[in-house]
Structure 1
Amino acid sequence: MEKTGVPHVIFLPFPAQGHIKPMLNLAEILSHAGFQATFVNTEHNHHRILHNTDIHDRFPKFQFKSIPDGFPSDHLRSDLLYIRDFFRSCRVAFKPALRELLISLKEEKEPCQPPTCMIADGIMCFAIDVAEEFEISTIFFRTFSAHCLWTYFHLSKLIEEGEVPFQDENLDKPILCIPGLENVLRRRDLPGFCRTENADDPILQFFIKETSALTRGTGLILNTMNEIEGLMITRLGSFFNKVYAIGPLHALKSRINENSSSSSTSSDGILWKEDKKCLKWLDSKPSRSVLYVSFGSLINLSGEQILELLHGLVNSEKSFLWVIRPDLIVGDATIGDILKEQETGRLERGLIVSWAPQEEVLLHPAIGGFLTHSGWNSTLESIVAGVPMICWPQMADQQVNSRCVSEIWKIGFDMKDTCDRSIVEKLVRELMDNNREEMMESANKLARLARDSIEEDGSSCINLEKLIQDIKSMSSSLTQVHISG
């Protein structure tokens, strides 16, 4: 075989924006190291991306492939029910489709080399079964915090200790059986799926099995940094031969693009069309005067919740920029109906958009705070921008993240398990006025640590170089096999 040892990496994200975005950032970073990249989306998400952007212009070094997700074409695929259904069915549809894709890639003459390794999302662990058939190494990428992954590794222990399911309604009961987090987590801070009545709950068991399967990989990639999660990263080293903490990926990608004179592209608008007019609106606002509000790409809210949040924001008398997706509200209410109930003059301080270029928004000097669902991408982007947070988590890792923000890093307030206009008003005022200097000092300190991590001598850059060299070694090994064969 005349193929050279250029690494060819297959990227397999979980089919949700919060997972696709960091995986795209990672793929772009590795492409700068000379790697060939094949990015695999579901057919549905591939069509959405094509609708919202010219991916071949934005990512000219990639080849994009798509495989079916096993759902009918008219399935909405836009709510948590779809995600739960996907957990149950992904192996049925994805495994054979991924196998066929690898066969086609292996047989292709041009333009790519045979696959060197696969970087798969940490909740797509079935991929390693397929990769092993083709003698391809698998590195797993878990797209949330080290604190959260450490918690996931103790889900079985939580069940054994009788902590899950909860034995009563006291959500403030401390959790004492997770080493290193004994004085941090309460019941309400555990991942959302722990609020189950049955230890055999399929979603809980899914995450227990997926987390255990991570250890079969060659290594683990985390979108975090030693500077803020070093202790948890070290603890995770007891489960993995190699842990590559190389975050914040969006900031690392931007720095590498700047140094290589490449255009830096945000992945905010991959599945949603961005409304960039909000940046001009922010230009007209004083420094640190605007609260940014966004609850990510998956969460659904009732009309009553939207109304409570809106009243709290308006009553705080602070300017706000609020992202309300077209599919955010469940039920018969629409944002138009809700806004009609408000006095026009009371809404003059606010701007509502369907989707925003979040990285740019958070870096804008007018932004003074972030009311967030505490997804890990949003949390990292806020940390890098030095913006303190009000956390309103709803699912999965968000409960752990919000606790870290408030109790470990001291860069925000945790508003979980409440949606009351008076509390929203109080915390907005606390964040933007009463505790402004204290919060900003902590937020600026963490932002400096994040920036330090992506400098050439920073921990994330050093770990990235280790990852690059390890993938190159895999490519060299494959080349030797082909030559000897």
Structure 2
Amino acid sequence: MMLNMETLGSVSTLQSRRIILFPLPFQGHINPMLQLANILHTRGFKITIIHAEYNSPNPSNYPHLTFKPIKDHLSKVAHEYPTNRDGTYFVRYLNKSCVDTFTDCLAGLLAEPGEERVACVITDACFYVTQAVADDMKLPRIVLRTSSLGCNLAYEALPFYSKTGSFYLTKQDRFEESVPEYPLLKFKDIAKITINPQGMGDLATNMLNQMKASSGIIWNTFKELEESDLETLSRDIPVPSFTLGPFHKYFPASSSSLIEQDRTILSWLDKQPPKSVVYASFGSVAQINESEFQEVAHGLANIGLPFLWVVRPGMVVGSEWLESLPENFLERMGDRGRIVKWSPQQEVLAHPATGCFWTHNGWNSTLESICEGVPMICSPCLADQPINARYVSDVWKIGVLLEDGFERVGIKMAIKRVMMDKEGEEMRERVSSLKEKVNLSLAEGGSSCRSLNNLVDYISSF
């Protein structure tokens, strides 16, 4: 359900206050922060976004917002990214490299003559150093957590430093066992979260501690999806929490994508039967090797259904784009399969031809699939993705997890379960029910609508 922005703006008292936002410069973090900026702007706040140079947003796409770039020095280490798969390294680096430039920029904004008073700063939770900066400037800091509530609880519980926590396991004979501290997950899930347990432990500890020190937390989720986790988290982190998501549903399908979208696929989708297409996309960060890539290709080919496959340039290690496809793959598939570099994902998922979403389970993608009532096939890669995938498959039961990675027989079986079997019909019924709950939560009087009103009142009280 898309909200009427004119109505939304008219029911609130316009604020003569500024809010300063600071996103982490990665696609899955920039998108929800810009969506939040737009939501708050419709409620009358003036928005200034401090942003790193890396993955800089295009200000011309947001003429109603003010952008202030700062030096991030990430270019010194960005060249390591193709070989250094430790995501925590780059987040921890940014916390060190941006703190001085962020401090200077924020101080300058606060000192600007003739401008509205700044009500608060909203930063990505992963920018944990900003809490001390905000405290020094006596400015309330609210954090945006771009992952699920369940992910946050898992990060609190998992023994990142402990040799019993699976990170130090060398034998795979325990990989199918549940993790005692968080039984939803298996040891093999934990092994995917990070290749650097010490770094992950440092990041999680710093992030969680500074979330507890903040003035509040904004979540891109809705209460009905994670209600029990919200109750647990409210006890663990006793600061105000606002579940006003899914953010992208406040507006017509739009994009803050850093990669150009191929919109020609929408006319191809128009020609496909309802709920017949397998849509496969593994996000903006994940990489797979050549063997895995070929298994995906064979899995899609062998099921005999039409498919739309997003292959981001550089996604396959050692390849520019499609060089590693099986011989004559495109010719054999003909018009049954389409491969593109990037897609308008929200529109693809909303299209009546889309039957399932084969995803890496980044939180934005997971939410988008739920919002359109599309069941999932889960191939998580890193960070919060294995946690999200377990919720999809084992808690909400709206998808299938590829337990053994990319293997053509398992891929074919998973697609069949979701697209052809009675089990898939039941998944579709459950995810369709969640879609209805999303729409109710965003409607007047719904949980997300109330949470947004509470957030606006809270910020206005500073």
Q: Same fold (TM over 0.5)?
A: yes
Residue from 120, 145, 162 that aligns with 1:142: 145
In the alignment, which residue of structure 2 is the partner of 1:108? 112
In the alignment, which residue of structure 2 is the partner of 1:17? 27
Q: CA deviation at 1:109?
A: 3.1
Task: Indicate the SS of the match to 2:279.
Answer: strand
1:300 aligned to 2:303?
Answer: no
Contact 1:294 1:372 in 2 (8 A): yes
Residues 72, 404 of structure 1: CA spacing in aligned structure 2 closer, same or farther, 3 A cutoff? closer
In the alignment, which residue of structure 2 is the partner of 1:364? 351
CA deviation map 1:160-188 (0-9, x unaligned) = 6933435542112122334xxx4x33223
Contact 2:166 2:190 in 1 (8 A): no
In the alignment, which residue of structure 2 is the partner of 1:90? 94
Contact 2:361 2:379 in 1 (8 A): yes
CA deviation map 1:101-123 (0-9, x unaligned) = 1122123236x424221111111
Q: CA deviation at 1:302?
A: 1.3
Residues 188, 82 of structure 1: CA spacing in aligned structure 2 closer, same or farther, 3 A cutoff? closer
Contact 1:399 1:416 in 2 (8 A): no
Residue from 373, 384, 388 that aligns with 1:386: 373
Identity %: 32
Q: CA deviation at 1:82?
A: 7.8
Task: Indicate the SS of the match to 2:73.
Answer: coil
Contact 2:219 2:244 in 1 (8 A): yes
CA deviation map 1:367-386 (0-9, x unaligned) = 00000001000000000000
Contact 1:191 1:400 in 2 (8 A): no
Task: Indicate the SS of the match to 2:178.
Answer: coil
CA deviation map 1:30-49 (0-9, x unaligned) = 00110011112211322xx4
Residue from 39, 42, 49 that aligns with 1:32: 42
Contact 1:376 1:401 in 2 (8 A): yes
In the alignment, which residue of structure 1 is the partner of 2:386? 399
Residue from 148, 151, 163 that aligns with 2:154: 151
Q: CA deviation at 1:324?
A: 0.9
Q: Distance in 1 between matches of 2:243 and 2:163?
A: 30
Q: Distance in 1 between matches of 2:377 and 2:78?
A: 34
Q: Distance in 1 between matches of 2:318 and 2:419?
A: 32
1:439 aligned to 2:441?
Answer: no
Residues 333, 325 of structure 1: CA spacing in aligned structure 2 closer, same or farther, 3 A cutoff? closer
CA deviation map 1:210-259 (0-9, x unaligned) = 222211100111111111100001111011221111111111x22xxxxx
Contact 2:281 2:311 in 1 (8 A): yes
Q: CA deviation at 1:69?
A: 1.5
In the alignment, which residue of structure 2 is the partner of 1:453? 441
- The one-letter code matched in structure 1 to 2:193 is F
Residues 77, 194 of structure 1: CA spacing in aligned structure 2 closer, same or farther, 3 A cutoff? closer
Task: Indicate the SS of the match to 2:164.
Answer: coil
Residues 74, 203 of structure 1: CA spacing in aligned structure 2 closer, same or farther, 3 A cutoff? closer
Task: Indicate the SS of the match to 1:444.
Answer: helix
Aligned-residue CA RMSD (Å): 2.2
Q: Distance in 1 between matches of 2:330 and 2:27?
A: 35
Task: Indicate the SS of the match to 2:38.
Answer: helix
Q: Which moved more, 1:210-219 or 1:30-39?
A: 210-219
Contact 2:261 2:344 in 1 (8 A): yes
- Give matches, 1:320-331, under 5 Å: 320-331=307-318
Q: Which moved more, 1:101-110 or 1:393-402?
A: 101-110
Residues 265, 287 of structure 1: CA spacing in aligned structure 2 closer, same or farther, 3 A cutoff? closer
In the alignment, which residue of structure 2 is the partner of 1:219? 216
Q: Distance in 2 between matches of 1:96 and 1:125?
A: 13
1:235 aligned to 2:232?
Answer: yes
Q: Which moved more, 1:387-396 or 1:210-219?
A: 210-219
Contact 2:86 2:194 in 1 (8 A): no
Contact 1:362 1:385 in 2 (8 A): yes
- The one-letter code matched in structure 2 to 1:327 is G
Contact 2:148 2:219 in 1 (8 A): yes
- The one-letter code matched in structure 1 to 2:111 is E
Task: Indicate the SS of the match to 1:387.
Answer: coil
In the alignment, which residue of structure 1 is the partner of 2:179? 175
Q: CA deviation at 1:333?
A: 6.5
Q: Distance in 2 between matches of 1:339 and 1:62?
A: 46
In the alignment, which residue of structure 1 is the partner of 2:4? none
In the alignment, which residue of structure 1 is the partner of 2:242? 244
Residue from 96, 103, 108 that aligns with 1:99: 103
In the alignment, which residue of structure 1 is the partner of 2:338? 351
Contact 1:19 1:143 in 2 (8 A): yes
CA deviation map 1:453-478 (0-9, x unaligned) = 1111111111111111010011xxxx
Contact 2:71 2:98 in 1 (8 A): yes
- The one-letter code matched in structure 1 to 2:205 is I
Q: Distance in 2 between matches of 1:140 and 1:417?
A: 36
Residues 343, 131 of structure 1: CA spacing in aligned structure 2 closer, same or farther, 3 A cutoff? closer
Residue from 66, 69, 72 that aligns with 1:69: 72
Q: Which moved more, 1:389-398 or 1:329-338?
A: 329-338
Residues 327, 470 of structure 1: CA spacing in aligned structure 2 closer, same or farther, 3 A cutoff? same
Normalising by structure 2, we get a TM-score of 0.90
Note the residue ranges of structure 1 that are not aligned, 5 or more in a row: 255-263, 475-485
Q: Distance in 1 between matches of 2:40 and 2:361?
A: 27
Note the residue ranges of structure 2 that are not aligned, 5 or more in a row: 1-13
In the alignment, which residue of structure 2 is the partner of 1:165? 167
Q: CA deviation at 1:332?
A: 4.3
Q: CA deviation at 1:336?
A: 3.5
Task: Indicate the SS of the match to 1:113.
Answer: coil
In the alignment, which residue of structure 2 is the partner of 1:480? none
CA deviation map 1:423-476 (0-9, x unaligned) = 1111112211113322211111111111111111111111111111010011xx
Task: Indicate the SS of the match to 1:328.
Answer: coil
Contact 2:278 2:357 in 1 (8 A): yes
Q: Distance in 2 between matches of 1:294 and 1:7?
A: 40
- The one-letter code matched in structure 1 to 2:458 is D
Residue from 7, 26, 47 that aligns with 2:17: 7
* Aligned pairs, number: 444
Contact 1:153 1:212 in 2 (8 A): no
Residues 271, 191 of structure 1: CA spacing in aligned structure 2 closer, same or farther, 3 A cutoff? farther
In the alignment, which residue of structure 2 is the partner of 1:189? 189
CA deviation map 1:325-363 (0-9, x unaligned) = 112111147413425442612343110111111111100
- The one-letter code matched in structure 2 to 1:280 is S
Q: Which moved more, 1:88-97 or 1:228-237?
A: 88-97
Q: Distance in 2 between matches of 1:191 and 1:216?
A: 30
